[in-house]
Amino acid sequence: MTPVEALERVVHCLDRGFENGFKTKAFVRALDVIRSLPPEEVEERSANGTLKELDGIGDATVRLVKETFAGEHAYIDKIEAETQISMTDGGAAYMAAIRGDCHLHSNWSDGGATITAMATTARALGHEYIVLTDHSPRLTIAHGLDRKRLVDQREEIARLNEEMAPFRILSGMECDILEDGSIDMDNEMLDQLDVVVASLHSKLRMEKAKMTERMVLAAANPHVDILGHCTGRLIGKRPESTFDADIVFMACKQFGTAVEINCRPERLDPPRELLGLAISYGCYFSIDSDAHATGQLEWQPRGCDRAAERGVPMDKVINSWPMEQLLAWTKDKTLAA
Ligand SMILES: [Zn+2]
Ligand SMILES: [Zn+2]
């Protein structure tokens, strides 16, 4: 392992552990510094104790680099152990069946890692494919992709797919559901995407009847495959949106739109009761990490635990299907619905 690889692994683990405070920022900064230096200089500075003179390098990095050159890994082992993701036996059965991840972000929008890093990590986790779902243009705060950038991104994906075959990066987008229930991307472009996640990111406090109508319109849109984090809650920070869940899940069932089981620890959306309701309507589900960093790709066990706890039928989990089946379904959801 090189010092850069060791630092990358530490950042991965901290992201996995959802440690997004000072410690992670310090390691990300240190990684930038170490990456920018010639490897010989890193080795020399580590040996003569001058690494810490560099801006952005703290004691922890000095120790990590020193250990790496000595072929030791006590520090990494500690961080690995502290950030392990636990899983129930029931969840493990779902995790074993899962072949991919249908909702994740790269640094093309508000993610922290390159498409290559996300894909390489997902492949190492045993996935057969990922769906890259960077944000749509309306979400300017997240550097959402307009049509032009989405076209550019699809070219990059095609290039990477040649390198990484048989692993596949599917092209997708997390589109905003606008106030009137329409989707923030033109139909011609949506037609070309493999998988479309539609989510609410604004006007989450809309009045119940209007919100229900807005969500039903999104679920009924033939381009929409997955309804992302449906209640919009952020645990401890933001309440669930108010909508008639019976009508929304009935629409998801009717139009064959999958309900996402979002695995982010601050979301875990839908909450248990609503998940039970969606199961009772016979909806499809997609257990997605919504990762914004490589470490967060390891979050699916949370959703798998939830799926096991509530008894989501395995054959309804769209990302447990072979990729060809998934793609045939997203092309024509009426067939399977
Ligand atoms: Zn989202
Ligand atoms: Zn997302």
Q: Which tens digit of pLDDT belongs to each residue from 253-282?
A: 999 999 999 999 999 999 999 999 999 999
Domain with 49 in it: 3-82
CA distance 212 to 245: 8
Least confident of 38-42, 162-166, 328-332: 328-332
Same domain for 96 and 59, yes or no, is no
Shortest-distance ligand to the CA of residue 106 = 2
Q: How far is the CA of 280 from the centre of ligand 1 (A)?
A: 25
Residues 158 and 268 in one domain: yes
Query: Taking all residues of the chain, what is their mean pLDDT, rounded to a whole number?
Result: 96
* The pLDDT of residue 141: 84
Rounded to 5 degrees, what are φ and ψ at 111? -80, 165
55 alpha carbon – ligand 1 mean position (Å): 35
H or E segment at 246? Answer: helix 245-255
337 pLDDT tier (thresholds 50, 70, 90): very low
Q: How far is CA 331 from CA 22, 202, 221, in A?
A: 44, 28, 13
Q: Specify whether 17 is located in the same domain as 108.
A: no
CA–centroid distance, 104 to ligand 2, in Å, is 6
Q: Answer yes or no: do 72 and 95 share one domain.
A: no
Q: How many CB atoms lie within 10 A of CB 274?
A: 18
Cis check: omega of the bond before 322, within 30 degrees of 0: no
74-99 per-position pLDDT tens digit: 999 999 999 999 999 999 999 999 99
**Beta-sheet pairing, 100-104 with 285-288:** unpaired
Last residue of a domain, one of 32, 64, 82: 82
Residues near ligand 1 ion, CB 5 Å cutoff:
199
In the listed set 29, 53, 82, which residue is the last one of a domain according to the structure? Answer: 82
CA dihedral (268, 258, 195, 117) in degrees, to 10, reads: 20
Q: Are residues 215 and 329 in the same domain?
A: yes
With both helix axes pointing from N to C terminus, report the angle between 300-310 and 272-280 in degrees, rounded to the nearest 10: 60
Q: Residue holding tokens 């990494």?
A: 76
Residue 61 alpha carbon to ligand 2 centre in Å: 31
* Shared-domain flag, residues 75 and 120: no
Q: Which ligand is nearest to the CA of 292?
A: 2
Q: What is the model's pLDDT at position 336? A: 55
Q: Categorize the per-residue pLDDT at 63 as very low, low, confident or very high, splitting at 50, 70 and 90.
A: very high
Ligand 2 centre distance from Cα of residue 70 (Å): 40
**Do both 137 and 201 map to the same domain?**
yes
Q: What is the pTM of this model?
A: 0.95
Q: Are 307 and 262 in contact (CB under 8 A)?
A: no
* Judgement on whether residues 160 and 243 belong to the same structural domain of the protein: yes
d(C-alpha 259, C-alpha 227), whole Å? 5
Residue 298: is its pLDDT beyond 90?
yes
The CATH number linked to 201 is 3.20.20.140
For residues 304-314, average pLDDT: 98
CA of 105 from ligand 2 middle (Å) equals 6
Which helix (H) or strand (E) is 130 found in, with range? strand 129-132
| Predicted confidence (pLDDT) per residue in 93-102, tens digit | 999 999 999 9
Q: What is the mean pLDDT of residues 193-200?
A: 98
pLDDT at 52 over 60: yes
Number of domains in the chain: 2
Instruction: Identify the domain boundary among 82, 110, 137.
Output: 82
Cα 109 to chain centroid, rounded: 12
Distance CA 278, CA 229 (A): 13
Distance CA 171, CA 190 (A): 10
